[in-house]
Chains A and B, each alone.
Chain A
């Protein structure tokens, strides 16, 4: 173990998980960037789609198409697209081979037991894929919008969130009832490594968003483009205000009411306030909290996100603000619901509920275009995603120079560097490089840059969508595998559940609605019925 005195700036670059999250994340990010030169070597990334055992005639959901290579849908080059189209379920094997090579190199450099890692990783990977598959059965994942396409009269409308919950449940069953099997998986069950890598992929997502927005605006037309621009601006300001109120509020609740230690309160503050899992892990690293704190908060975030997903769209539609202020509802949803998947799913539900309600109330005289309310939910969420690295840096500074510093002790500036969560560097690099492509050769979405942006999209989507979600799945599965209920009970996990409940429902959601109202009240959605 290196000490503060003999550490160099490069200490741990080949031996720490933090750094290996950066290397692994940037490796696949780099493969994705090659599409800008029309070299597509990333489209093999596998991705599930909703399925049913007996799809209706002319409907969707054949099991044979339940997994596909993302290049089938997003590759720019026609030859690459044709190749990836042929992969189907084989894309799982391609993904397994590529990830096994890279993770095994990392495991070897970190001096883990490579043989045990590969064995555990192989089982963990295919188990995760199996759960991902089950979680995408239309009964779990289809929404009221599209359930009929799968021949269903009822679905749980959990979207991609169902898979995360299932992964956690399966992992918990293994970890608590099959301890021998959990021991076999233990060398590969590394939730921190997987989530840190997923955060680097999140940087790709944030950087890619302007590219995606350019395409979306074109689809929705000039009138709607103006509205999405307003939402983008209003969402940015509302998010900054909300976060700077959320974090101290949750911190005070945790410290003063629930009497929690500082580091635990800081991680909870970030987990409940920002984008859940990623923010909890980044903050945990910045303040040097014990890893279990970030993991406990992460588990809470996933569970509460699903509860919010089920409750909030109905509350915002039928109680307040309803159709009188639909974009206030969407924006508040984005600030309140943690995790991107749950937020997008909740936004989609709200979009459907409110459009149906306004059409019913006006006998069809008012019809809102699909997607605007969802966009208002997503616009606040993306700004919150951007806060993760910045806030981790601020907290690292505060903890190094103010809170952990002992009287008379001189803390070298290098301590900030050693304490800074390194995977955040990968997150920023991925984000800014895609942003540079957008504003540089991409001409900010103008016609002359669209070809390059479409090529960039072909490489970004498999990473930000496919690999990011797969690594989230691996995180939750691993998290369950290493979690022992007995130890959590000893750790008073139930107390943390109550902190989350009080902070979320009595503080975060009301404040989110107020701030959303201040910045979105009166914004009108164009009436497509004329």
Chain B
């Protein structure tokens, strides 16, 4: 965890541009990612439906 702490709090310098691993080594898809994606889309859907009814300029009016 301390390494993770370090990775996000320090200043970016030319030495820290060792980026060979930031695009490689994708972890397997995790169910929590499915939840994150679906919750985002669900919120979008709810706001869309409510918005279409309450926004006077929407296509429903």
Contact = CB atoms under 8 A, between A and B. Distances in A.
Bind each other: yes
Interface of A: 1-4, 12, 16-18, 110, 175, 182, 186, 189-193, 230, 233-234, 237-238, 240-241, 244-245, 247-248, 251-252, 255-256, 259-264, 284-285, 287-296, 398, 402-404, 418-419, 481-484, 487-488, 490-492, 495-496, 517-523
Contacts of A175: 14
Interface string B22-38: 11111101101100111
Contacts of A17: 9-11
Given A289-B7, A294-B12, 7 more contacts: A240-B44, A248-B38, A256-B29, A292-B19, A293-B22, A484-B17, A488-B17
A165 B4 CA distance: 32
Interface of B: 1-2, 4-14, 16-20, 22-27, 29-30, 32-33, 36-38, 40-41, 43-44, 47-48, 50-52, 54-59
B40 A247 contact: yes
Given A244-B43, A288-B5, A519-B58, A398 B22 contact: no
Contacts of A488: 17, 19
A419 B9 CA distance: 9
Contact of A261 (B2, B14, B26, B50): B26
Contacts of A487: 17-19
Contact of B22 (A18, A245, A256, A261): A261
Given A491-B23, A518-B58, A292 B8 contact: no
A255 B37 CA distance: 12
A491 B5 contact: no
Nearest to B44: A244
Contacts of A285: 8-9
Nearest to B32: A402
A104 B38 CA distance: 46
A230 B1 CA distance: 48
Nearest to A2: B5
Contacts of B55: 233-234, 237, 519
6 contacts: A256-B29, A262-B26, A291-B12, A292-B19, A482-B12, A519-B57
A518 B33 CA distance: 29
B11 to A, nearest CB: 5
A245 B44 contact: yes
A484 B14 contact: yes
B23 A264 contact: yes
Contacts of A403: 30, 32-33
B7 A418 contact: no
A432 to B, nearest CB: 23
B17 A482 contact: yes
Contacts of B29: 255-256
Contacts of B7: 288-291
A492 B23 contact: yes
Given A241-B51, A244-B43, A288-B5, A262 B57 contact: no
Given A16-B9, A192-B11, A261-B22, A255 B51 contact: no
Nearest to B30: A403
A340 B44 CA distance: 24
Nearest to B41: A248
Contacts of A482: 12-14, 17
Contacts of B13: 186, 189-190, 482
B5 A3 contact: yes
Contacts of A296: 19, 22
A522 B32 contact: no
A488 B22 CA distance: 11
B51 A237 contact: yes
Contacts of A12: 9
Given A289-B8, A290-B19, A487-B17, A522 B33 contact: no
A406 to B, nearest CB: 9
Nearest to A229: B56
B51 A186 contact: no
A410 to B, nearest CB: 12
Nearest to B60: A518
A482 B37 CA distance: 34
A193 B11 contact: yes
